[in-house]
Chains A and B, each alone.
Chain A
Amino acid sequence: MRLTCPNCGARDLREFTYQGAALNRPEGDWGESWDAYVHLRDNPAGPSQEYWYHGLGCAAFLRVERDTRTHDILLVALASGGAA
């Protein structure tokens, strides 16, 4: 698998680590929204919103849309929202 890092260009899978589903962190006390954030997953068979870390590259966290059936990469952006 290869991901195109907005900072570094197309790089091999071995430079990246998957960092979990891209979810929004809730606020406040423990409850259903927290359980959903920490544990529950849509786990889609299809396009999936995920975070990846370019640890052996520029250290950017990436927000990636990837098809879990085909491993097609549909979108890569900096998770911070900043431009490359």
Chain B
Amino acid sequence: MRLSSGGLIDRTQPIGFQFDGHDYAGFQGDTLASALLANGVRTVARSFKYHRPRGIFSAGSEEPNALVTLGTGAQTEPNVRATTQELFAGLQARAQNCWPSVDWDVMQVNDLLADFLGAGFYYKTFMWPKKAWEAVYEPLIRRAAGIGKLSGADDPDLNEKAFAHCDLLVIGAGPTGLMAALVAAEAGADVILCDEDATLGGRLNAEVEEIGGQSARDWAAATLARLSDMANVRIMTRTTVTGVYDQGTFGALERVCRHLPPGRGKRPVDCFWRIVAKQAVLAAGAIERPVAFRNNDRPGVMLAGAVRSYVNRYAVSPGRAVTVFGNNDNAHRTARDLLAAGVHVAALVDAREGAKTDLAVPFYPGAVVERVFGANGVEAVSIRTAKGRERLHSDCVAVSGGWNPSVHLTCHLNGRPVWDAGLAAFLPAPGAVPNLIPAGAAAGVFSTAGCLASGAEAAGKALLALGLNAANTTIPQAEDGTYDITPLWQVPGRGRAWLDLHNDVTVKDVRGAAVENFRSVEHMKRYTTQGMAPDQGKTSNMGALAVLADVTGREVPQTGTTTYRPPFVPVPIAALGAGGRGMGFAPRRLTTSHDVSLSMNAPMIEAGLWYRSSYFPRQGEATWRQSCDREVAMVRNAVGICDVSTLGKIDIQGADAARFLDFVYTNTFSTLKPGRVRYGLMLREDGFVMDDGTTARLGPQHYVMTTTTAAAGLVMMHLEFVAQVLKPDWDVRLISVTEQWAQVAVAGPKSRALLQDLLGQDLSNDVFPVMACGPVTLAGVEGRLFRISFSGELAYEIAMPARYGESLFRLLVARAEALGGGAYGLEALNILRLEKGLLTHAELDGRTTAQDLGLERMMAPGKDFIGKAAASRPGLVAEDRARLIALKPVGPVKQITAGAFLFEQDAEPVRTNAQGHVTSAGFSPTLGHTIGLAFLQNGADRVGERVHMVDHLRQITTLCEVCEPVFFDPEGGRTRG
């Protein structure tokens, strides 16, 4: 029911919206909740388990009941709190978890079965027959569970993430936060002031009181205006600080344009902030808690402070005859404000003996509301006094069981709140979060004057820590009322009294859990699901804890504490994962030949973060295999060009560079002559192979190392570790030059001719033998040439500064094509190396030793190197370890597949008989059959034997012959040619 005057709404701006298909109107400044109340809509949701009708319970993000679905199609947004959703024109909301409608829900039959559905009932049944759980019960439960529904369509909205830094982060802009921000800002601190609400002021917007001689709201607005004018203040409205992380890092969710109609253009809906603050003031206020009594879940039962919010801020009365029920002074304000707004107060019920009031209302001191009547909403209340029971007509119960300071953020670093018996509430543990100062209501200060002073004091402390001097900011006069409370958590009596409204946890459930020995608060929560709902028990955990304390005969602090984990309010995955969609997930590393390769129609494939050409299709080639076979033949018979820039390149210099390489490689590099290249093997300290590659000595104190593409980063980090940590006294400097050099392989019998012609220099074996390297000049640009081969052919790799990479590749491809060759891709590269038994990370899988690979001779004796000691462990040198071998098919089945296992011919293919596995396989056009590399127990001694290769997944069994792991040109004559 909308009141005729008052409120912070703009009555000149009516806004039309829909709820469950019905048209309604509200005003600018309304939330969906206030607009629904204004239109007399009481039932807005159904509860999780019993499907009981539920109404709006709070006026903030703590709301347990009023979760609705917004929007349609891909824009569908489930589980939106009606209490924080600002109204906008055309807003479409729907009730959730009900069918056919929120007013008449088939599943409310569950409520009749409540005696069978108590806490944890599902652990005791649905076990027979055995198969029925997955076939019958679980699908039914899954369908019934859940609340809102995702659309199933890709999220179409934009999201953003950002960083911010400040001297002081003020969390909450009520009286405490505004005062803290003002004091700090006037002293010159860089301040960020965050508040959940669109309008700063916190409770000041919901209360009737004065600050400094003006209305509290006006003071808030004036203070905001002052802050807005200061360059060192950043005000972030609609921004909830969601989590506290280490060293002053905070997460915050800014709802950038959820208050606007869909079609918001290019703006993100949310922005997730990481705010780094040297100091912080927690001015997050407090959250009111209810009292549990029979049927206290009915629509119309509402927190007393929320009733004031609706009356004072939104000019809406949640009822026509309101019963105010509380155990503290604060509840009386609700009766006062209702009277002032002209709303009938049916009764003011104060549980405290001897409570007094001056208000002209029916007053019941020392009494309680025992139950409410009405199946679909409150119609009457039963008040129990010392004299007996009285039934009153009333359609709304404003209940206050006291206030819980919002300690949530102080728990995020494992702080455990401390019980304050006087306030009957938990307070932040001192020093729970370094450099975060709780103040105001969050610290248990419940008067406005107290909050202003507390905010100023907190800012003062922060300024001191920041080394800034406080200016003389005056603290205005304000209400300094008392907060007297006598704890009351539940009204004893028959029937069900609710604690967790969303999850349908009642006092009986907690009692039952205790009987079943779930007496630890953690057990109780897990067994009953208390506090696990979307509201995370913000209004109910304290009451449940107190009830548990009561039924187990303990005091609250002995029973446990309420604690909270991040986030303070639920955060959309899209916001925390902003930027991750599609290609945004990881950087793309492109070689300088990328565009040329694309123009040659090469399919690109991912190699770590890199993209590499898979193959270069030519006219008439219908499959990748045709292209691959042709490219292999091209390299074997003419010349092929392949961009190998993705291999890691590390420049190593210094007087101790040679010594350094001797230490990180198993073999020796100090004996390598300048102008020569050597293949090196690198172990991890645990003795297994980390990586391999070639390293060239460019000068006496200058090497350039190549690593595999996959291990480039790892090797770089490892080398830095060795240089900085293990050998800090050695003179060696490292830098990755992977991206500075474009490097291209020129491979095949015609490679020398191509390069001699191109470079205009003699590359004959006498001048530039196998494993030679040296400077070259091409078109006036200085580059490097290496005579190394990953194909088994006469081959070179030429490196030029990356800015010439594209032209280098174009030039080489054109020259190669003129000689009957051309570009080749990763597929052909793989076949070429397989034919030669050369290794990739399919073989160097982190579990292989040098000996497994047949490289034990590369372990140089007489020097220390990384991994040497561990490589000598018995398990690493055992004779029966699997060794690298090659396979060829010798039976009717010709397929060899990577990932298949090897068995003796007559053995059953089960784990205990497995003797090895295939690491890589492919069709060799050179040999005319499939080949594979594999590890096989005692493999080196079994050449010529026949084994079965079994790929269960693909249902392939192939009879294979064990071969030496070099099929092509085992003598290496072609490489040296």
Q: B-contacting residues of A (Cβ < 8 Å)? A: 1-2, 10, 12-13, 17, 19, 25-31, 34, 37-38, 51, 53, 55, 59-61, 70-73, 78-82
| Residues of chain A lying within 8 A (CB to CB) of residue B721 | 19, 51, 53, 61
Instruction: Scan residues 717-746 of chain B and give those whose CB is less than 8 A from a CB of chain A.
Output: 717, 720-721, 724-726, 728
Query: Complex Cα distance A15/B432, Å?
Result: 26
Q: B413: nearest residue on chain A (CB-CB)?
A: A70
At the interface with chain A, which of B243-251, B562-570, B576-584? B243-251
Question: How near does chain B come to A27, taking the closest CB pair, in angstroms?
Answer: 7
Structural contact, B728 and A71, CB atoms closer than 8 A: no
Query: Complex Cα distance A25/B726, Å?
Result: 7
Question: How near does chain B come to A6, taking the closest CB pair, in angstroms?
Answer: 12
Q: A20: nearest residue on chain B (CB-CB)?
A: B721
Query: Complex Cα distance A29/B870, Å?
Result: 8
Question: How near does chain B come to A38, taking the closest CB pair, in angstroms?
Answer: 5
Report the count of interface residues on B (CB-CB < 8 A): 25
Q: B735: nearest residue on chain A (CB-CB)?
A: A59
Structural contact, B724 and A80, CB atoms closer than 8 A: yes
Structural contact, A53 and B720, CB atoms closer than 8 A: yes
Given contacts A19-B721, A61-B724, whether A73 and B685 have CB atoms under 8 Å apart is no
Structural contact, A30 and B869, CB atoms closer than 8 A: yes
Question: How near does chain B come to A28, taking the closest CB pair, in angstroms?
Answer: 7
- The number of residue pairs between A and B whose CB atoms lie closer than 8 Å in the complex comes to 64
Given contacts A19-B721, A51-B725, A81-B728, whether A2 and B246 have CB atoms under 8 Å apart is yes
Structural contact, B870 and A1, CB atoms closer than 8 A: no
Question: How near does chain B come to A17, taking the closest CB pair, in angstroms?
Answer: 8
Query: Complex Cα distance A31/B246, Å?
Result: 39
Beyond A1-B246, A26-B869, A30-B872, 20 additional contacts (C-beta under 8 Å) are A2-B246, A12-B274, A19-B721, A25-B685, A30-B869, A30-B873, A34-B870, A38-B685, A38-B686, A51-B721, A51-B725, A53-B721, A55-B713, A61-B724, A70-B413, A71-B246, A71-B413, A72-B434, A79-B725, A80-B728
Contact of B724 among A28, A30, A38, A60 (CB under 8 A): A60
Given contacts A30-B872, A53-B721, A61-B721, whether A82 and B249 have CB atoms under 8 Å apart is no
| Residues of chain A lying within 8 A (CB to CB) of residue B713 | 55
Does chain A have a CB within 8 A of B345?
Answer: no
Contact of A79 among B274, B724, B864 (CB under 8 A): B724
Question: How near does chain A come to B208, taking the closest CB pair, in angstroms?
Answer: 44
| Residues of chain B lying within 8 A (CB to CB) of residue A78 | 724
Structural contact, A34 and B869, CB atoms closer than 8 A: yes
Query: Complex Cα distance A2/B277, Å?
Result: 11
Query: Complex Cα distance A81/B615, Å?
Result: 49
| Residues of chain B lying within 8 A (CB to CB) of residue A81 | 728
Structural contact, B247 and A2, CB atoms closer than 8 A: yes
Question: How near does chain B come to A13, taking the closest CB pair, in angstroms?
Answer: 8
Q: A66: nearest residue on chain B (CB-CB)?
A: B246
Does chain A have a CB within 8 A of B303?
Answer: no
| Residues of chain B lying within 8 A (CB to CB) of residue A31 | 869
Contact of A1 among B249, B414, B685 (CB under 8 A): B249
Q: B247: nearest residue on chain A (CB-CB)?
A: A2
Question: How near does chain A come to B958, taking the closest CB pair, in angstroms?
Answer: 39
Q: Pull 12 A–B residue pairs with CB atoms less than 8 Å apart, ordered by A.
A: A2-B247, A2-B248, A10-B247, A12-B276, A25-B685, A27-B864, A28-B869, A30-B873, A34-B869, A55-B717, A73-B247, A79-B725
Structural contact, A38 and B870, CB atoms closer than 8 A: yes
| Residues of chain A lying within 8 A (CB to CB) of residue B246 | 1-2, 13, 71
Structural contact, A79 and B728, CB atoms closer than 8 A: yes
Instruction: Scan residues 224-278 of chain B and give those whose CB is less than 8 A from a CB of chain A.
Output: 245-249, 274, 276
Instruction: Scan residues 781-825 of chain B and give those whose CB is less than 8 A from a CB of chain A.
Output: none
Of all A-B residue pairs in the complex, the 4 with the closest CB atoms, nearest first, are A2-B247, A1-B246, A80-B728, A61-B724
- Among the interface residues B414, B869, B873, which one has the most CB atoms of the partner chain A within 10 A? B869
Structural contact, A80 and B725, CB atoms closer than 8 A: yes
Structural contact, B869 and A29, CB atoms closer than 8 A: yes
Question: How near does chain A come to B158, taking the closest CB pair, in angstroms?
Answer: 23
Query: Complex Cα distance A68/B246, Å?
Result: 12
Structural contact, A2 and B276, CB atoms closer than 8 A: yes
Structural contact, A1 and B717, CB atoms closer than 8 A: no
| Residues of chain B lying within 8 A (CB to CB) of residue A55 | 713, 717
Question: How near does chain A come to B873, taking the closest CB pair, in angstroms?
Answer: 6
Q: B434: nearest residue on chain A (CB-CB)?
A: A72
Query: Complex Cα distance A37/B869, Å?
Result: 11
Q: A53: nearest residue on chain B (CB-CB)?
A: B717
Given contacts A25-B726, A79-B725, A81-B728, whether A61 and B720 have CB atoms under 8 Å apart is yes
Q: A55: nearest residue on chain B (CB-CB)?
A: B717
Query: Complex Cα distance A30/B248, Å?
Result: 44
